């Protein structure tokens, strides 16, 4: 995958390629169709993606106080045009008959609410960026993605790989968090920095779902995409606490012993995913009480370089825990324990 113009979608391209090679009948056809559409979209963005993102790229404005999302949902009518279609629901309007429209609206709101309530972050860019949801994108399109330009695209799925992607609150949180990472760390989308990019989206996506559902760390299933997978990918896309067990195709390693050199960023992201889950479970309570803020402070730390390795990121999480809670705190011990659980030595 090109690090300069990645399509940061919820269904990994590596999995789609595997299903295109080994799947049978309609499964193979669906994987090929999704790959073709993803490829066209990636090419269309290639010239502009390298100019987006990073702390320097952010404009400074003083026009908003914050605390209220600005959502607009568009009906794409199964078109693959990347511009918004017909407006079907705006901020503050009542629910409509289309379930996907309402799910997208609610999921965008849940993500905004998480970032505002926990970090006083006003939308994805921190300055009130409007959240634009484009539903019914493509025909039986097996993906959902954030385009780094303010749009969240939702496919309806083919019913075998994925179902309606608007149903996944964690999926929406995951995709919008790519925007947060873009505006903060702008991690290069390849190697360990790319796997960190994906892991950060899972880390905050799962917290969005936990907060929206009122789940503490013990009640959460720690599964990503459980509400959008079809029978071919049951029971989820990824497991944060038990990487490699989410579905029959899941190839995520659970620790550094299984790290895949040159592996897909979605594959190796299971390692830092588990480090976060272990940290949060050790601390107990809500994941956004301590573990989440430590990870957020790390993502927004100017010392986090765009080519960061797992070890770079891990060391910064320890530093942030020490700054917030003290060098001998239980939070520091929990963070160290999380990385030790995945056999990453600091």
Give strand pairing partners of 87.
Answer: 74
Q: What is the DSSP string of 234-274?
A: TT-SEESSSTT-SSTT----SSGGG--TT--HHHHTHHHHH
Q: Among the options 164, 175, 184, 331, which is catalytic?
A: 175
Inter-residue contact 107 to 99 (CB < 8 Å): no
Q: Which of 148, 110, 146, 152 is nearest to 133 (CA)?
A: 152
**Whole-angstrom Cα distance, residue 234 to residue 271?**
21
Inter-residue contact 210 to 203 (CB < 8 Å): no
The radius of gyration of the chain's CA atoms, rounded to the nearest angstrom, is 19
Q: Edge-to-edge strand order for the sheet containing 151-154?
A: 86-90, 71-75, 131-135, 151-154, 144-146
Q: What 3-state DSSP class applies to 24?
A: coil
Residue pointed to by tokens 């592996």: 263
Taking CB atoms within 8 Å and a gap of at least 24, the contacts of 54-59 are 54/182, 54/183, 54/186, 54/306, 55/183, 55/184, 55/186, 55/302, 57/183, 58/125, 58/126, 58/127, 58/183, 59/127
End-to-end CA distance of the chain: 29
Question: Is residue 345 exposed (0-12), middle (13-18) or buried (19+ Cβ within 10 Å)?
Answer: exposed
Q: Among the options 136, 266, 278, 331, which is catalytic?
A: 266
Tell me if residue 175 is catalytic. Answer: yes
Q: Which two tokens stand for residue 251?
A: 């190839």
Consecutive H or E run containing 293: helix 291-299
List active site positions: 175, 266
């Amino acid at each position: 995958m090109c690090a300069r113009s990645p399509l940061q979608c919820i269904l990994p391209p590596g999995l789609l390629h595997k299903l295109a090679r080994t799947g049978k009948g309609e499964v193979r056809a669906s994987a090929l169709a999704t790959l073709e559409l993803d490829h066209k979209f990636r090419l269309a963005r290639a010239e502009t993606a390298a100019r987006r993102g990073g702390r320097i790229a952010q404009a400074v404005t003083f026009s908003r106080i914050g605390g209220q999302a600005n959502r607009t949902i568009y009906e794409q009518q199964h078109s693959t045009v990347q511009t918004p279609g017909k407006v079907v629901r705006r901020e503050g309007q009542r629910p409509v008959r289309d379930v996907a429209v309402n799910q997208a609206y609610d999921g965008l709101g849940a993500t905004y609410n998480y970032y505002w309530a926990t970090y006083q972050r006003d939308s994805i860019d921190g300055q009130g960026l409007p959240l634009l949801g484009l539903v019914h994108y493509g025909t039986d399109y097996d993906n959902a993605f954030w385009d780094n330009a303010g749009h969240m695209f939702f496919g309806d799925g083919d019913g075998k790989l994925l179902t309606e992607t608007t149903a996944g609150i964690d999926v929406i949180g995951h995709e919008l968090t790519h925007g947060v990472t873009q505006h903060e760390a702008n991690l290069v989308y390849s190697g360990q920095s790319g796997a960190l990019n994906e892991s950060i989206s899972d880390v905050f996506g799962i917290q969005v779902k936990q907060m929206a559902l009122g789940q503490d760390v013990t009640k959460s299933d720690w599964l990503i995409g459980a509400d959008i997978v079809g029978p071919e990918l049951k029971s989820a896309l990824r497991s944060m606490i038990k990487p490699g067990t989410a579905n029959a195709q899941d190839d995520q390693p659970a620790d550094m012993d299984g790290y895949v050199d040159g592996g897909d960023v979605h594959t190796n992201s299971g390692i830092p995913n588990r480090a976060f889950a272990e940290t949060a479970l050790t601390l107990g309570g809500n994941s956004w009480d301590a573990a989440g803020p430590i990870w957020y402070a790390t993502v927004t730390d100017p010392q986090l370089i765009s080519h960061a390795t797992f070890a770079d990121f891990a060391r910064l999480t320890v530093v942030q825990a020490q700054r917030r809670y003290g060098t001998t705190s239980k939070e520091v011990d929990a963070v160290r324990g999380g990385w030790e659980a995945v056999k990453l030595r600091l």
